[in-house]
Each structure stands twice: as structure tokens, then as C-alpha cells.
Amino acid sequence: MKVVVTSEQMAELDTVAQTRFGIPAVVLMEHAGLQLYRLLERLASGVDRHLRSAGENEPAVDRPRLAVVAGRGNNGGDGLVIARLAAIAGTFRVTVVDAGCTRASEESLTGVHLASCRALGIPVRDDVQEFFASIERGDWIVDAVSGTGLKGALRPPASEIVTAINETSERCGASVFAVDVPSGLGDEYRRGFPVVHADVTATVGRHKRCLFTPAGRTAVGNLHLLDIFFPRELMKHLSGADHSTVNSLIEPNDIPYLLPAVPLTAHKGTRGHVVVFAGQPGTTGAALLCATAASRARLGLVSMLVDPVVAERIDGVNPSLMVHAAEIPELVLEQMQRRIDAALIGPGWGTGTRRRTTLSAIAARARRGVIDADGLAVLGSVCSDGEVPLEDGEWVLTPHPAECARLAECEIDDVLAEPDRIAVDVARRYGAVVLLKAASSWICAPDGRLRVIDGAHPAGGVGGSGDVLSGIVAAFLAGGLDSFAAACAAAGVHAEAIRRSYAEAGWFSASELPNAVGRALADLERVAGRYG
């Protein structure tokens, strides 16, 4: 797992690298600029297969243009290093666009690198709109206007330059490469603030929190983390950090190690039993999706307790699911002979007043499970009366941002901008782990533990995808994981299944996703050396 830091933490790490480990700021900036340039060159080469360095006396008129839009701070300095390296390599026709860099002190790092660019003959333009009018498809814009230290919203003229970058990219299809973060994005970013919409964001040193908020992730594009050779011991010197609660990004290779190995002698009775409470007339698809997904996630048995009219419609649709007609689910639940390892409550379940009694009865009997969709609305109404039925169990709530806002009794913009704070508040209020599902999902425990899964992919935006996720969480809970580990592993598997499904077969419907879950899990486990 890779750590995710706030802007203040990143500034402190940068300072510690210089003061405690003796790495000069100019060296850190040179490392950053070099890594940024190397990534940019690789990406540009992938777009233009004919990209090559010009010879020493060879004009580079056939090279794409590189417009480095540089501010006066360190972010602008990183951009100017890119400009210098690109000009020396001859892979681009380089121009620096002044977004404040000419106002930097000559003694500052940005001022030093600007002087180097000028000495190399790189033109520096202050006619932003006029210059951007000449940008064409195939050209690249390097966004180095502002960095992570931004407080609040960008103001003119920086906000106007950001608008010009976005309009130029939209007009001609030029690619936008953001240095560290898209300009305008910071820890205080909220939906509606001016921000660059990058095609690629290359963040340096450590992942930044603002890149993964639901509000901010929409501006990031494809995200790359670049190593600038920070000492490995750096995080130990972060003041005030409780390392048990430091936010971390879970990546695909981490997933197998969150899941215990299934014994080779396992059978249906030892691999867990999930009971699904979902579906009503018109929403039977949600019930089938979550139950089928659970059955593909290493689970032994799935039972469905549904309204009689629903049972009649879905019985036999999937022979591996045991369907029970339950006019009063809590009574059937009490009569079940099999051990219940986890309950899954809510997708397409309805929110009638009788569901409140049923939810409380399920929570008391099962003591482990997932509450999603309609189940969250029912939970909110139960808890509004002062009852919190989940406090003594292992439960995961899986809201999307609007559902999370209702549980937290706040505005949706608060959730999009501060997912960590809001979701932890909800986790503490309801005594359960919260898996806030969005392009980047946040997993928050009542004790303050935080994890992020970056699942940003357009193919995942399909009806029923969330039902599949809830099924995976339930399966992992039934398999013995605690609620925090089950939520982390499930969100990671879900994101990986989406990426792999698209890579293998293109756009898909949610009904195809459960099979992809099984394949993704198997592939990840094989990489970890399990099961042959």
C-alpha cells in the first residue's frame, strides 16, 4: 500500500528530506523534473510513434509543440525543468507560457530554472490567449500553474489561465499533463472551483489526498506516481502522525494479502454462507446481481430471502442460489437451520415501515453483514429513533455520496470534498465500517482507519455495479474477514474486475461483472502463488 498525504504533510516531508536527510531543494526539484519529463516523453511517444529527438543541427519543425504553463511557485519550477530537458532532448518545440514564473525572484528555484530556459533560447510568452490559439491536436500542454499548497479557490489571473487551458484542450484535443496536481486542486477544493481538467496527472513523491476526493478525482485523468528518491524512513519523521490511521492507497497487488488462503480441503460448509435480503417487484435484478456476485467471490453458499412474488419469478434463474419465499423474513430467518455467516440487506429491497422491524431482527441474528441501497434508508430511519442495531457486530455500510450525505445529515458537496471526515463521522455514528463508493472509494472505520481504492474507470458507471460490490463485501465477511478488511478487499477486487472486463471485452453490462469478479480474484491469487 502507498501512503496518501495532505498538502501540509507533503510540505513537512519535503522539509524533513532537506533538513534531516540533507537533500537540497534544488536536487529534489531536479529529480522531480527529470521523472516528469521521462513520463511525458513516454506518453507522447505512445501517441506519436514517430516522435524522436532532433539532431544537433536539425530543425524540429515536425515535432509536436510543448507549452509549459509555469507559475511562480515550486510547481512552476518543476515545469521549467521539464521545459529545459525537453528543449535539450529536441523531442518537442518548447514554449514557456508565463503564469507568474517571470515574477519569481531570481534567487528562487523557479527563477533559476527560468534563467536556464532563457539561456537555451526557449521563448517565454505572456500572451496566453493568443498563443493558445495556435495549439493543435497532437500538442501537449504542461500544467504547472499551482500546486498542492493552494488554499481555497484560484483567483485571477491564475483562474483565467486555467479556463484557457481547458478551453484550448477541448477545442483542439491537445493533451494536458498536470504537474503533481491539476492546478486549482488542493485540500480545500470543492465542486465548482476553477480547476484544470487533465488527461494525465503525474504526482511526485507521495500520493496527495486531494487527488482522490470524489470532487477532485474528476479533474485528474490518468494518475501516475513518480519516485523522486525520498528516503524510505521519511514517514517515520512525520510529526503527529498516528501510523495506524495514516491514509493509504490499496493497489491490486495488495489484495491477495488482505484475503486469507482458502484451504485446499475446503467445501461448501466451510467457505461461508450469505443470506440476501433484497429485491421487490420491479427490482429483482438488484437481488440477483448481488447474490450472484457473492457466489463468485470464494463463497460456499448463497440463500435469498425474498417476498413470495419475487421468489416465484427468480427461483431457478441461477441454480446455485437457494431462493426462499418469505412473507415475514424475520420469521423465516429464525427457522433457518444453516449457520448465517453474513447478511446482505438492501438492494431493491424497498423502504416500507415493516422493513425497520426486519432490519433490526436481521442485525440481531446475523451480527455480520452489509447494508446497501434501500437498507441504508431503512437504517437511517431506525437510528433516527435512537436505536443503533449494529454496534456489537461486524457491519459494512456501502453508500454512494448522496446516500452518505443523507446518513450524515449534510450536503452532498461536503461528502465530495471531505470524504474522509464525513465517512468517519458516519462510521462512528452507526458503529460500522463505511465504504463510500465513488470513482475513488474511501473505506473508513469507527476507530479512524482510512484506506482509498482508486477505481476510476468509465466502464464502471453502469446500473447494478454497486449491487455487485455489496455482494463481494458480503462474501468476504462470510469468509471470515473483519469488516474493515472485507470492505478494503472487496472494493479493490471490484475495481480490478471493472478494469479487466473492459480490457478483455470492452463496454459491458452489470450482469457480466460477477464472472469478471471471479476471474480477477483468481488472477490476483495466482500472482501471489496460490492454488496453482
pLDDT at 294 over 50: yes
Residues 210 and 258 in one domain: no
pLDDT at 247 over 80: yes
Query: Considering only 209-213, 364-368, 384-388, which range has the smallest mean pLDDT?
Result: 384-388
Residues 277 and 301 in one domain: yes
Query: Count of domains in the chain?
Result: 2
Residue 456 sits in which domain range?
Answer: 252-527
Residue 408 within a domain: yes
Residues 444 and 298 in one domain: yes
- What is the pTM (predicted TM-score) of this model? 0.93
Given 239, 274, 300, the domain boundary residue is 239
Residue 1 within a domain: no
Confidence of residue 49 (pLDDT cuts 50, 70, 90): very low
Residues 200 and 329 in one domain: no
Residues 220 and 334 in one domain: no
Residues 269 and 357 in one domain: yes
C-alpha cell at 277: 435480503
Residues 315 and 456 in one domain: yes
Q: What is the pLDDT of residue 315?
A: 87
C-alpha cell at 220: 485528474
Q: What is the pLDDT of residue 384?
A: 76
The model's pLDDT over 121-134, given as tens digits with 9 standing for 90+, comes to 999 999 999 999 99
Q: What is the pLDDT of residue 51?
A: 45
Q: Domain of 127: which CATH number?
A: 3.40.50.10260
Residue 9 within a domain: no
Residues 227 and 272 in one domain: no
Q: Is beta strand 2-5 parallel, antiparallel or unpaired with respect to 248-249? A: antiparallel
Confidence of residue 52 (pLDDT cuts 50, 70, 90): very low
Percent of the chain with pLDDT over 90: 80
157 preceded by a cis bond (ω within 30 of 0) = yes
Residue 244 within a domain: no
Residues 361 and 394 in one domain: yes
**For residue 375, how far is the Cα from the chain centroid?**
24
Q: What is the pLDDT of residue 316?
A: 85
- Mean pLDDT for 499-513 is 94
Q: Domain of 413: which CATH number?
A: 3.40.1190.20
Q: What is the pLDDT of residue 57?
A: 52
Given 203, 218, 239, the domain boundary residue is 239
Given 185, 209, 239, the domain boundary residue is 239
pLDDT at 48 over 50: no
Q: Which residues contact 181 (CB under 8 A, 6 or more apart)?
A: 147, 148, 201, 203, 208, 210, 211, 220
Q: By the 8 A CB rule, do 54 and 65 touch? A: no
The alpha-helical segments, DSSP class H, found in 48-184 are 74-89, 109-119, 128-132, 158-172
Residues 321 and 421 in one domain: yes
Residues 233 and 304 in one domain: no
Q: What is the pLDDT of residue 53?
A: 47
Residue 345 within a domain: yes
Query: Considering only 190-194, 222-226, 322-326, 374-378, which range has the smallest mean pLDDT?
Result: 322-326
Q: By the 8 A CB rule, do 517 and 495 touch? A: no
Between CA 299 and CA 474 the distance in angstroms is: 9
Residue 263's Cβ-count burial label (10 Å; 0-12, 13-18, 19+) is exposed
Mean pLDDT for the chain overall:
92
Residue 247 within a domain: no
Residue 106 within a domain: yes
Residue 205 within a domain: yes
Residues 129 and 278 in one domain: no
Q: What is the pLDDT of residue 338?
A: 79
Q: What is the pLDDT of residue 329?
A: 84
Dihedral in degrees, nearest 10, Cα atoms 359, 362, 363, 368: -130
Q: What is the pLDDT of residue 465?
A: 96
The model's pLDDT over 153-201, given as tens digits with 9 standing for 90+, comes to 999 999 999 999 999 999 999 999 999 999 999 999 999 999 999 999 9
- Would you say how long the chain is, in residues? 532
Report the phi/psi class of residue 120: left, alpha or beta, with left for phi > 0 and alpha for psi in -120 to 50.
alpha
